[in-house]
Structure 1
Amino acid sequence: MYELFFSRIAEKIELTEEEKALFITYLTPKKLRRKQYLLQEGDVCKSVAFVEKGALRSYTIDNKGTEHIIQFALEGWWISDMYSMLTGEPSNQNIDAIEDSELVIISRNAQEELMERIPKYERYNRLLLQNAYIAAQRRINYMASLTTEEKYTKLVSTYPDIVQRVPQHMIASYLGLTPETLSRARKQMTRK
């Protein structure tokens, strides 16, 4: 069950068989059906989730009822509301499954204990947070400086699986566009 999980960790740190066995005692497998919530706005986020299979999204809904997608997570990716988890404040995000999904859940308490018992896991988490920060900065920069066509092209080249598996209206939301604007941009790009 945890093959992808441990292979992703092995990309950054090396765990012994004993450490893997200890790790497993802190993990909770979870299955979500399509459209089922992992986290709902107003709840406090108490865990992080690793996607073994499937696809999820995190998003907010503004006062006009419009969704604003913050993140997608496919196989091998992590997803959570880190702000809510770290502060204990209610989340302003929803996280739900785009496809039937299989997750590995680690609670905040389990995270803390694992970092104490396996110190190199703290390094792994630091590397994940650094990469997430870099990705967030890059996305902010792209959103502010690229044209609609450039944003879509960048998404396609960086994350081709997302474009294949995620509905276009969700991709438009992630890019800060209306579905109609994205559709027009895609048509113009195919004409070129």
Structure 2
Amino acid sequence: MLRKHLQSFQILTEEDMDAFMEFVTPLSIKKGEFLINEGDISKQIAYIQSGIFRSFYHSSEEEEVTYCFTFQDRLITAYSSWITQLPTSENIQALTDMELLVVSKEHINQLEATYPNWVAFFKHIAEQEYINMEKRVFMLQRESAEIRYQDLLKNYPEYLHHIPLHYLASYLGITQRHLSRIRKDIDF
């Protein structure tokens, strides 16, 4: 599954992927556990074989604000911390039991120094993350909560029953009561 995911970008050669696979380590995380906690420095990147992560931060009022869900067949890390090697402000928590394949930052640095296609690959990933972040900001600022919910329903319907309503409401920037009305109107 990971190799197929990497091939889908059409950047890496078989040799590039073989070198990467030598560094991959399996990791299981139980529901409720964290991949990374606020204040930690991101030292690994993970490929999600199965499960759902929730990324959140604490507001100035110390409330948890969910800003991202990351699903199967995606890469995940505390990206700003990964780049800067400074402590992160985010938490990445498992909403389900997770099966991951992880690679350390040290090994990624070795790959980039030896195989130039890995630099191109991670540049592409960074660009995609920026585009996704911009889309999320525009969605929050331009669209109604109903449209934001429908977008999530359209793109990830099979996962919605795994996400507790209070996390979903936080992600959409609305109250649980408002989310209940939206769900009722959409005829979930």
User: TM-score, normalization: structure 2?
Assistant: 0.91
Q: Deviations over 1:122-164 (max 9, x none)?
A: 2221221111111111110010011111111111112323324
Q: Which one of the candidate residues 59, 64, 71 is aligned to 2:61?
A: 64
1:103 equivalent in alignment to 2:100: yes
% identity of equivalent residues? 27
Structure 2: give runs of 5+ residues left out of the alignment. Answer: none
Q: Which one of the candidate residues 34, 37, 43 is aligned to 1:37?
A: 34
Q: Which one of the candidate residues 95, 113, 118 is aligned to 2:115?
A: 118
User: TM-score, normalization: structure 1?
Assistant: 0.89
Determine the structure 2 residue equivalent to 1:167.
164
Between the two proteins, the alignment pairs up a number of residues equal to: 187
CA–CA distance in structure 1, aligned partners of residues 118 and 5 of structure 2:
12
Determine the structure 2 residue equivalent to 1:15.
13
Q: Secondary structure at the match of 2:187?
A: helix
| CA RMSD across the alignment | 1.8
Q: Secondary structure at the match of 1:102?
A: strand
Q: Deviations over 1:18-39 (max 9, x none)?
A: 4433222222221101111110
Q: Deviations over 1:60-86 (max 9, x none)?
A: 122433211122121101111111121
Could you tell me whether the CA contact under 8 Å between 2:41 and 2:81 is conserved in 1?
yes
Q: Which one of the candidate residues 178, 183, 189 is aligned to 2:186?
A: 189
Q: Secondary structure at the match of 1:152?
A: helix
CA drift of 1:14 comes to: 4.2
Determine the structure 1 residue equivalent to 2:173.
176
Determine the structure 2 residue equivalent to 1:129.
126
Corresponding letter in the other structure for 1:113: Q
CA–CA distance in structure 2, aligned partners of residues 167 and 10 of structure 1:
33
Structure 1: give runs of 5+ residues left out of the alignment. Answer: none
Could you tell me whether the CA contact under 8 Å between 2:23 and 2:107 is conserved in 1?
yes
Could you tell me whether the CA contact under 8 Å between 2:29 and 2:99 is conserved in 1?
yes
